[in-house]
Structure formats: structure tokens, C-alpha cells
């Protein structure tokens, strides 16, 4: 049972609330109306440092004591945020060393949020003190269910270049490498005479001509940022565990340069995500070619890879936008409810809307809460009331049940951080991720994301009959051994161009491409080219059928090295016309596919057709492309992302939980409609 389900049998629905933003006379009515909507939990305080500590060392809990007591009187549970994302002006004015800086040394100043660094000893002192004071004060409060550490670690910026960060990085590399010789080797400093002869010469990357720092140093910089972020979160988690041992601990967000898997397994009870699907609305309003808000499902799969059961700490509850940017249209009728079920379908057991009422001041006056300023009923409130009523009835049938997927996309932090800076790889990763997620969505094949980590075991991989590891340029010996065993053990592994040529330092191996993967793929790469508008990617053709397989962004010409490997498609243009583009190899009891390109949607569909990968809807439901299927235990979610009604056909009778009745045959699902079915 997950930590969330342990804390309650029913689905916990709620909202982010800022008592400090409102006249106290509103609180009673606000909490009463929350309860009426079916809410059971509110998050507070994550930006309220100056309320708790208006002056250095002077603490005041009165305002939140009154707010929490009022929430408690209304039967609401409370999540306390630690306010360390918003240091008070008195602190940063007195201790500017607590502030973050840009790479060029310009220091971020008071006036926004997240302008601090994780390294400064003085900032850590103040953070520890406020978190200790708060957790001691609220550790036994009957309303407090748990804690959110900071707010969205590494949001706004995930780069840190203050003096304190340079010093902490120097210490980090010393611990990692021990000697300068080892550091010089790992960073390849013999290239362009970058050799370090004293630790004092070592910094985080700094401004340089052409904005091109040493790539191996930059990869370590990201690893350092991740470790440093986790160590900042650890300070807080340890204090809360000590002072508030009966309350759970989480943090929210999914941001860069942070190994959320390590942080969660080392520090948290579960992970929380903030879901704003409207960020995708800028693209393709007609929803013809991209997934738009359905893309969020992949981020939710990523969240699920961190915590099988998670909390959505902030669910978009209206149009969004800061006063100066991120201008978003209003969610159409039904869309907020759809997004809520999207989160739940993917594993949320607790969900809070952001936010109760739109702020009347500050940067977020266009980031809409459920309530407008006037507090009269509106469309958003009606929609949330419907969700509250529905989850009150069926929520406990969903919570604690696990998402079902037979297909997984492999990821790892080394490759995603290395590729951020690598112009030969970054576009391939984006393209392939988009193609795989779209094709799998359209074919109604639910997908998990699995991170390759130090502790990843063969059985973690063998749970999935099929794995895609599209462009693992960094492939360590351990990971290669695991993948080899997976394929030999009966799995099907699909890989793409630029696999396996780097080691964990990001340096290139002096063996044929695709490095260790040649073993299970049964091929090597004899020639290759990056493709761009001046050198378009070649077309290819399937061996078994007279149909085209478009390639994208990169072309590798493959040589078959093993008797068990076969050519599935060959190039039909460019100077390598006739060369192998896609191969399949029988390795042990499994199969290994290798495409010498980024994956286009057509390539993905062609591979899945040939593998015969089933959908869990097969045999009982015909679903149109617009509908996503997600399954948790015996509960099936069918979500229509289109702004038109669609038709579904049930081949067997199914139990419709939301409308309490059965469904059979051809039925219409309204625009943005949701079906929750028990099978």
C-alpha cells in the first residue's frame, strides 16, 4: 500500500489556499465551500516566510494557527509547505551570498521567487531554522497531514553560479575524483590545454567565447546540481522527520537537473507533480498533428516512474498566465475535468487544484483559481463540484490500484543531461519521444517510463515484453549487461541512431558503433551522417512490403554482423541507397531492433505492426484515435481529448461507474468526455 493510500481510504481532493492573501473574514466561507465541493485537503504556506519570520529570529505563527484551526473545524486536512523558495528581503539584503547568480556572475535579486542558491551555508542555516520552528510548531497539529519541501525545486532556473556554488562544486569534484589527474582525464582537459594544476582553478562552467564550455565538465555540473538540490531537500526532510514524525513528506514539480528518483527514494514518502496541460495549447489548436494536452500523459508516466502512486499538488484550474507571459486560453467546458481524470488515470491518489481563488495582486493575476474575485458560482466551480461528487462516489474504487502497462520507454539522467548540450543527439531524442508517445497513444497502448538507475534489476525490465531505449548514447558496461540479459531473457528491445558511443564521462569509445549494443543488435554502423534541410534524411523501404519508411534527422548505414540478424528496411535515396536502415536480431530468447535514424511516427507504426503489439482494448472495445485508454487494476479510464464528440463501440457489456449503469454497443462520448469503467 502506498503512503498516500495509508493516509486515507478515499480519494483526497483539495486545493491550494493562501490565507495570507485574503481578508480573514473570507476564510470561514472559503473553507465551508471547499467542504461542499467534496474537498478534504488544502495546501498552505509554501511562500509565507515573512509571515512566519517577519524579522530575523522573531517568529509568529498566529495567522496560520488561526487558519489551520478554522480548516480543522471544517474537517479539512492541511499540507504545510516549507517557505524556502521565497527568502525574506531582510535575509537576502543582509546576506547577498544566499542569492543565485547567472553564469556571467550577475546576481538575482529580491522581487520574484527562487532567487536563492542551495549552497550558501548562511542560507542553509536560515532554512534549517525556519523549517525546524515550523515543524516543531505544527508537528502535532491535528489538521496537518504532511509537508511539502520548498516549492518546485529547480523551477524558474535549474542553473546555479553563485560564489557558494563554485565552492561547493569544487568540493564535489574533489570528493568524486580524489586527484586532479583523474579529474583532468575525466574532463579530457588535454584538449585545448585546459589541464588543471590546482583545485583552486576549478569552477562551474563560466562564460567563454562561443558559449561552449567543456562538455564533460558540464555533464558533471548537472550531476552536481542534482546532488546539491537533493542535499538541500535532505536538510529539510531530516528536520521534519525528527519534529513531525507522524506526518508525511513530499515535494512537488518535475524540473531539470534533478534526479527525482534518488530524491524520492532517499527522502520522501511519495512524489508530487504539478500538472498544467494548457502549456501545450500553444501548438496546433485544431489538434490535428500533435498530442497537445494529451502529451501531459507522458509527464504523468514519468511521475509514476518516480512514485507509482503520487499526488498532483497543483492541477490547473482555469486559464493560466503571468501578467507578462504564458498567455493561455480558458480551458473549454469539460477540459478541466478531463485533465483531472488524466492525472488520476495515470496514478494520482491525491489531487489539489491550483488555486482556490485567482490572486488579485502580483505576477499571477491571470493564473486563474477555481473562484473568480467575486466568489459567485462560475463554470469552473460547477465542473469541480461535479468532480468532487464523482470522486466522493467512486474514488475509493481507484486509490491504491496500480497502472497497467506492457510497454515501457527507458530513460536515464546521464543521457538526458548530456543530450541537452549535444546538438547531434538532442533533436533525435525529441523527435523519437514525440513519435513513440503519439503512435502508442493512437494505438491505445499504455506506456510506462522506466529509469535506468544504479539499482535497476533484470526483473524490473523483464516485467515489460517490449522496451524502447531510443538514443542511449551513453551506455555503461553495467547497463549494457542488463540490456543484453533482458533480450536474452525474452524481451524485445528497440534502439535508434547514436546508441552506445559514449562512456559515463561523455567521452567516445574507440570501438565500432553502436558500442556494446552491437552484441545484441547483431550489427555495426559502417557509415553515418547527420541530416538537415541541406542534406535531407533518406527515404527507406520495408523489405517485406513495397511501402516507404521515412527516416529523420540522422542516417546510419548498418552492416549485419550476425547470422541471426535480418534487414527489415533499406535506404532508397542518398549515396547510401541500398544500405540497411533497420534491422532485427534474434538474441537468446528475445529480439533486438535497431533503426539507424530518429524514429518517425511511420517507422514506429511499421515496427509495431510487425511485432503485433496488442492493445488492452483488443477484443472488448473499439476506440477512436482521439481517446486515451489508461488502466488501474480493474478500473479503465477512457478519455476523449477532442473538442468533438466521438463514437466508441463496446463488444461486451461494461459497467459505467460515473453514470452507474452498463454500456454495450455503439455509444457517443461527448467532447472532453470521460468514462470510468469497471471490468
Binding region for ligand GAL (CB under 6 A) = 151-152, 155, 274, 314, 354, 364, 367
525 — alpha (psi -120 to 50), left (phi > 0) or beta?
beta
SS3 of 19-82: the string is: HHHCCHHHHHHHHHHHHHCCCCEEEECCCCHHHHCCECCECCCHHHHHHHHHHHHCCCEEEEEC
Q: How far is the CB of 354 from ligand GAL (least distance, A)?
A: 6
Phi–psi pair at 334, nearest 5 degrees: 95, -20
Q: Print burial letters for 212-241: b (CB count within 10 Å at least 16), e (below 16).
A: ebbbbbbbbbbbbbbbbbbbbbebbbebbe
Q: Which is nearer to ligand GAL, 53 or 152 (CB)?
A: 152
User: Coil, strand or helix: which one is 311?
Assistant: strand
Q: How far apart are CA 629 and CA 679, in angstroms?
A: 13
**Residue 152 a catalytic site member:** yes
Q: Which is nearer to ligand GAL, 354 or 650 (CB)?
A: 354
User: Closest Cα to residue 316, out of 336, 346, 294?
Assistant: 336
DSSP-derived secondary structure for 197-266: SSGGG--S----GGG---HHHHHHHHHHHHHHHHHHHHHHHHHHHHH-TTSEEE-B---SS--HHHHHHH
Q: Among the options 70, 221, 314, 628, which is catalytic?
A: 314
Torsion over CA: 187, 190, 194, 196 (sign): positive
Q: Among the options 152, 383, 390, 442, which is catalytic?
A: 152
Q: How far is the CB of 151 from ligand GAL (least distance, A)?
A: 5
Q: Which is nearer to ligand GAL, 152 or 422 (CB)?
A: 152
Q: How far is the CB of 163 from ligand GAL (least distance, A)?
A: 28
Q: Which is nearer to ligand GAL, 152 or 269 (CB)?
A: 152
Q: How far apart are CA 13 and CA 194, in angstroms?
A: 55
Q: How far is the CB of 209 from ligand GAL (least distance, A)?
A: 35
Q: Which is nearer to ligand GAL, 312 or 381 (CB)?
A: 312
**Residue 314 a catalytic site member:** yes
Q: How far apart are CA 539 and CA 500, in angstroms?
A: 24
Q: Which is nearer to ligand GAL, 165 or 274 (CB)?
A: 274
Q: How far is the CB of 273 from ligand GAL (least distance, A)?
A: 11
Q: Are 18 and 30 a contacting pair, CB within 8 Å? A: no
What residues act catalytically?
A: 152, 314
Amino acid at each position: 500500500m502506498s503512503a498516500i493510500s495509508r493516509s486515507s481510504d478515499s480519494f483526497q481532493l483539495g486545493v491550494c489556499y493562501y490565507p495570507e492573501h485574503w481578508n480573514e473574514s473570507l476564510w470561514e466561507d472559503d473553507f465551508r465551500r471547499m467542504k461542499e465541493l467534496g474537498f478534504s485537503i488544502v495546501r498552505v504556506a509554501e511562500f509565507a516566510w515573512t509571515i512566519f519570520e517577519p524579522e530575523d529570529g522573531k517568529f509568529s505563527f498566529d495567522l496560520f494557527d488561526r487558519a489551520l484551526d478554522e480548516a480543522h473545524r471544517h474537517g479539512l486536512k492541511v499540507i504545510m509547505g516549507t517557505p524556502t523558495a521565497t527568502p525574506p528581503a531582510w535575509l537576502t539584503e543582509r546576506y547577498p551570498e544566499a542569492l543565485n547568480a547567472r553564469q556571467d556572475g550577475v546576481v538575482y535579486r529580491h522581487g520574484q521567487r527562487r532567487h536563492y542558491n542551495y549552497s550558501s551555508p548562511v542560507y542553509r542555516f536560515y532554512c534549517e531554522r525556519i523549517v525546524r520552528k515550523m515543524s516543531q510548531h505544527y508537528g502535532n497539529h491535528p489538521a496537518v497531514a504532511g509537508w511539502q519541501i520548498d516549492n518546485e525545486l529547480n523551477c524558474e532556473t535549474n542553473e546555479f553560479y553563485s560564489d557558494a556554488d563554485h565552492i561547493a562544486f569544487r568540493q564535489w569534484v574533489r570528493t568524486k575524483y580524489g586527484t586532479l589527474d583523474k579529474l583532468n582525464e575525466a574532463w579530457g582537459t588535454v584538449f585545448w590545454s585546459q589541464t588543471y594544476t590546482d583545485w583552486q582553478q576549478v569552477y562551474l562552467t563560466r562564460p567563454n567565447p562561443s558559449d561552449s564550455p567543456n562538455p564533460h565538465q558540464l555533464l558533471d555540473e548537472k550531476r552536481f546540481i542534482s546532488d546539491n538540490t537533493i542535499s538541500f531537500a535532505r536538510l529539510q526532510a531530516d528536520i521534519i522527520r525528527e519534529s513531525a514524525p507522524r506526518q508525511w513528506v513530499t515535494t512537488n514539480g518535475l524540473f531539470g537537473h534533478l534526479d527525482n528518483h534518488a530524491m524520492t527514494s532517499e527522502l520522501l514518502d511519495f512524489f508530487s507533480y504539478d500538472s498544467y496541460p494548457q502549456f501545450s495549447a500553444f501548438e496546433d489548436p485544431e489538434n490535428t498533428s500533435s498530442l497537445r494536452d494529451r502529451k501531459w500523459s507522458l509527464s504523468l508516466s514519468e511521475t509514476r516512474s518516480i512514485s507509482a502512486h503520487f499526488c498532483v499538488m497543483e492541477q490547473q484550474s482555469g486559464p493560466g498566465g503571468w501578467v507578462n507571459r504564458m498567455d493561455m486560453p480558458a480551458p473549454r467546458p469539460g477540459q478541466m475535468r478531463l485533465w483531472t481524470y488524466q492525472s488520476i488515470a495515470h496514478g494520482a491518489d491525491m489531487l489539489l487544484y491550483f488555486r482556490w481563488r485567482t490572486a488579485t495582486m502580483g505576477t499571477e493575476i491571470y493564473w486563474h483559481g477555481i473562484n473568480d474575485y467575486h466568489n459567485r458560482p462560475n463554470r469552473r466551480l460547477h465542473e469541480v463540484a461535479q468532480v468532487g461528487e464523482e470522486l466522493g462516489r467512486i474514488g475509493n474504487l481507484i486509490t491504491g490500484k496500480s497502472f497497467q502497462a506492457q510497454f515501457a520507454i527507458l530513460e536515464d539522467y546521464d543521457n538526458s543531461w548530456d543530450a541537452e548540450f549535444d546538438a547531434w543527439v538532442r533533436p533525435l531524442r525529441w523527435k523519437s519521444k514525440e513519435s513513440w508517445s503519439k503512435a502508442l497513444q493512437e494505438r491505445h497502448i499504455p506506456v510506462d517510463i522506466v529509469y535506468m538507475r544504479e539499482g535497476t534489476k533484470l526483473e524490473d525490465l523483464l516485467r515489460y515484453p517490449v522496451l524502447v531505449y531510443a538514443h542511449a548514447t551513453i551506455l555503461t558496461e553495467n547497463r549494457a549487461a542488463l540490456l543484453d540479459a533482458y533480450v536474452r531473457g525474452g524481451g524485445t528491445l528497440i534502439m535508434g541512431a547514436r546508441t552506445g558511443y559514449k562512456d559515463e564521462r561523455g567521452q567516445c569509445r574507440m570501438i565500432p558503433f553502436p558500442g556494446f549494443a552491437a552484441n545484441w543488435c547483431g550489427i555495426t554502423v559502417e557509415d553515418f551522417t547527420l541530416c538537415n534541410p541541406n542534406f535531407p534524411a533518406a527515404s527507406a523501404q520495408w523489405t517485406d512490403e513495397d511501402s516507404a519508411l521515412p527516416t529523420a534527422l540522422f542516417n546510419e548505414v548498418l552492416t549485419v554482423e550476425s547470422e541471426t540478424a535480418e534487414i527489415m528496411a533499406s535506404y532508397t535515396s542518398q549515396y547510401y541507397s541500398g544500405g540497411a536502415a533497420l534491422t532485427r536480431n534474434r538474441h537468446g530468447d528475445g529480439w533486438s531492433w535497431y533503426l539507424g535514424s530518429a524514429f518517425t511516427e511511420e517507422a514506429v507504426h511499421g515496427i509495431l505492426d510487425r511485432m503485433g503489439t496488442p492493445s488492452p482494448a483488443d477484443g472488448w472495445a473499439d476506440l477512436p484515435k482521439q481517446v486515451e485508454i489508461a488502466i488501474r487494476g480493474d478500473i479503465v479510464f477512457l478519455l476523449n481529448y477532442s473538442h468533438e464528440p466521438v463514437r466508441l463501440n463496446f463488444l461486451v457489456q461494461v459497467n459505467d461507474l460515473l453514470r452507474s449503469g452498463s454500456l454495450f454497443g455503439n455509444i457517443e462520448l461527448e467532447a472532453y468526455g470521460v468514462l470510468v469503467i469497471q471490468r
